[in-house]
Structure formats: structure tokens, C-alpha cells
């Protein structure tokens, strides 16, 4: 479903590469997570895949077709809600369908179906300022899913939420993934979230951004039905990922070179990547 082949990205004519010879594939229905220190190029890669940012070199294909710009095959959920404050929950969820030119009745029916799945039906007539942050993020997810993409790109979608809301939405996203054939490329700073959500985890290094190691997560699903953290495999994978990230963090702290322009990303919360 997704093929990223030898992608390199630099900012400026003499800029240090943010991504260097980055290759990645994801099968239909697979949940793949990118995790790495701030500045390793996770968000940059996601934007390249989305067609919002051109690669310096290399190619991206979705469902076998070159991906060189935004398209109906792809949808993006960002960390911030990006809802229109003057539009209702339903109108925000239907916005992508409106841009596609669907008749009002059809787009509202499709948007309402996703609002219902995300337990937002009763808030369809509310405005963003009248609902909670967790609800606003669910509206953003409904808006992305309403266009029925093949590839869903998610950049720290739960990073701005409180811990309880975050865990609740993680479970809801897993339920959605189980009932669709969506391929999901997910960016996070949280090792716990990565293990909980993913089929595969790609651990990235910095300066330049690159793949250090890949982990296949074969903990049984659905993971919201049992205490997956009590599984021995969880502790082993988490320890290995943290060891890789810790070395990169130490290396970055010792390296006096500044990050390339445009490469900086939000710093991870201290309780999300600790041992």
C-alpha cells in the first residue's frame, strides 16, 4: 500500500540532510509507527508521504501510484485539531467531502456515520468551542476517515491530550483499524503508545534521520481487552527501544551542530520516553 524508496530531504542548498536514504513499506491494513528523538525527521517524512512537502530525492508510492501531492487516497490527522471554529462538528467532519464536491445530503450522511462510530453523534450541532479537546480531536479523525482514504497519516494525534483521554482514543482508533482495511502510518514520541498500537515499530536516529531498527509487535489483538503491559514481550521490546533512543539522545546532546532548518519537532514529554 505504501512504498517509500530512498527518500532524502534537505532544507536549503547546503543544509544538513534531515532524512537520508530512507526506505519503508507498509502493507494494506498494517499499522506502522515511527518513533525517534526530536529532530529525526518523523514529521518531515509524514509530510512527504502526504504530498505536503517535496522530497529532495527518492520516491513515494501509494497503492502503486506515485504520490507527489495531496490526494483522496491519503488523509492526515495532525497533533492540533485544525477545526474551523465557525463550523459545527458535522460541518467540520464533512469538510473534506465538501471540497470533493459531494452533494450536501451524501456528505452529511457519510460524516455522521463516522461521528456515530466515534460517539459524537449527539454533538453534531455543537461548535468546536463548545466541546472538549478530546472531542475536537475525534472530529479531526472523523473528518479524515469520512473521505475513505486507503492510507491514514497521523502525526502525534493524541500528544496534546490528557493521559486518560489519550488512552481512550487509542482504544477507539484500534477498534476502527479492526473494522477497516486502512493502512496507518503513525508518529509518536511514546514507546508505550507505539507498542500498544502497532504491528511494526520503526525506530529512527538523528543527524541525519534514518532507520536504526525495526520491531515486529506480535502481541495478540485486541490489546485493549487485556493488560498487554504485563506481557514479558512488552517489557523486552520497550527496554530495547528505550536503549536505542537513549543512545541517540546522548549523541544529539554531545553533537554541537544545530538541527537542519525545518527539522525540529516537539520535544517528547519526559514521562513518555523514560526507562
pLDDT reported for residue 254: 60
pLDDT at 266 (0 to 100):
35
d(CA 150, CA 67): 13
pLDDT tens by residue, 28-70? 999 999 999 988 999 999 999 999 999 999 999 999 999 888 8
Least confident of 96-105, 149-158, 255-264: 255-264
* Residue in the structure block whose three cell numbers are 456515520: 113
> Is 261 a residue whose pLDDT tops 80?
no
pLDDT of residue 253: 67
Helical pair 133-146 and 104-117, crossing angle rounded to 10 deg = 130
Domain definitions of the chain by residue range: 2-9+43-222
Identify which of 92, 67, 62, 269 has the alpha carbon closest to the alpha carbon of residue 184: 62
**What DSSP line would sit under 9-34, residue for residue?**
EESSTTPPEEEEEEEEEE-TT-EEEE
Share above pLDDT 70 across residues of the chain, in percent, rounded to a whole number: 91
pLDDT tens string 63-93: 999 988 888 899 999 887 789 999 999 999 9
Give yes or no for residue 267 having a pLDDT over 70: no
pTM of structure: 0.87
> Tell me, which fold does domain 2-9+43-222 have in CATH?
Rossmann fold (3.40.50)
Model confidence at 122: pLDDT above 50: yes
Mean pLDDT, rounded, for 140-164: 91
CB 195 within 8 A of CB 219: yes
Q: How many beta carbons lie within 10 A of that of residue 233, not counting itself?
A: 12
Cell readout for 269 is 514529554
Amino acid at each position: 500500500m505504501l512504498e517509500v524508496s530512498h527518500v532524502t530531504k534537505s532544507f536549503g542548498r547546503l543544509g544538513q540532510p534531515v532524512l537520508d536514504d530512507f526506505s519503508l513499506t507498509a502493507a494494506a491494513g498494517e499499522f506502522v509507527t515511527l518513533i525517534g528523538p526530536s529532530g529525526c525527521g518523523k514529521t518531515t517524512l509524514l509530510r512527504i508521504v502526504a504530498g505536503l512537502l517535496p522530497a529532495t530525492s527518492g520516491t513515494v508510492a501509494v497503492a502503486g501510484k506515485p504520490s507527489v501531492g495531496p490526494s483522496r487516497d491519503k488523509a492526515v490527522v495532525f497533533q492540533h485539531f485544525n477545526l474551523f471554529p465557525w463550523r459545527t462538528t458535522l460541518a467540520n467532519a464533512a469538510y473534506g467531502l465538501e471540497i470533493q464536491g459531494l452533494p450536501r445530503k451524501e456528505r452529511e450522511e457519510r460524516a455522521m456515520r463516522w461521528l456515530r462510530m466515534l460517539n459524537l453523534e449527539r454533538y453534531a450541532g455543537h461548535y468546536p468551542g463548545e466541546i472538549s479537546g478530546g472531542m475536537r480531536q475525534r472530529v479531526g479523525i472523523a473528518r479524515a476517515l469520512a473521505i475513505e482514504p486507503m492510507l491514514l497519516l497521523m502525526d502525534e494525534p493524541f500528544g496534546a491530550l490528557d493521559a486518560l483521554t489519550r488512552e481512550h482514543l487509542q482504544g477507539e482508533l484500534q477498534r476502527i483499524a479492526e473494522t477497516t482495511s486502512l493502512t496507518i502510518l503513525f508518529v509518536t514520541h511514546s514507546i508505550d503508545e507505539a507498542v500498544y498500537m502497532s504491528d511494526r515499530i520503526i525506530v529512527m536516529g538523528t543527524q541525519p534521520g534514518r532507520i536504526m531498527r525495526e520491531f515486529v509487535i506480535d502481541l495478540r489483538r485486541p490489546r485493549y481487552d487485556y493488560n498487554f503491559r504485563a506481557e514479558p514481550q512488552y517489557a523486552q521490546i520497550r527496554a530495547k527501544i528505550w536503549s536505542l533512543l537513549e543512545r541517540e539522545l546522548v549523541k544529539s546532546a554531545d553533537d554541537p551542530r544545530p538541527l537542519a532548518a525545518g527539522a525540529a519537532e516537539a520535544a517528547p514529554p519526559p514521562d513518555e520516553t523514560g526507562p
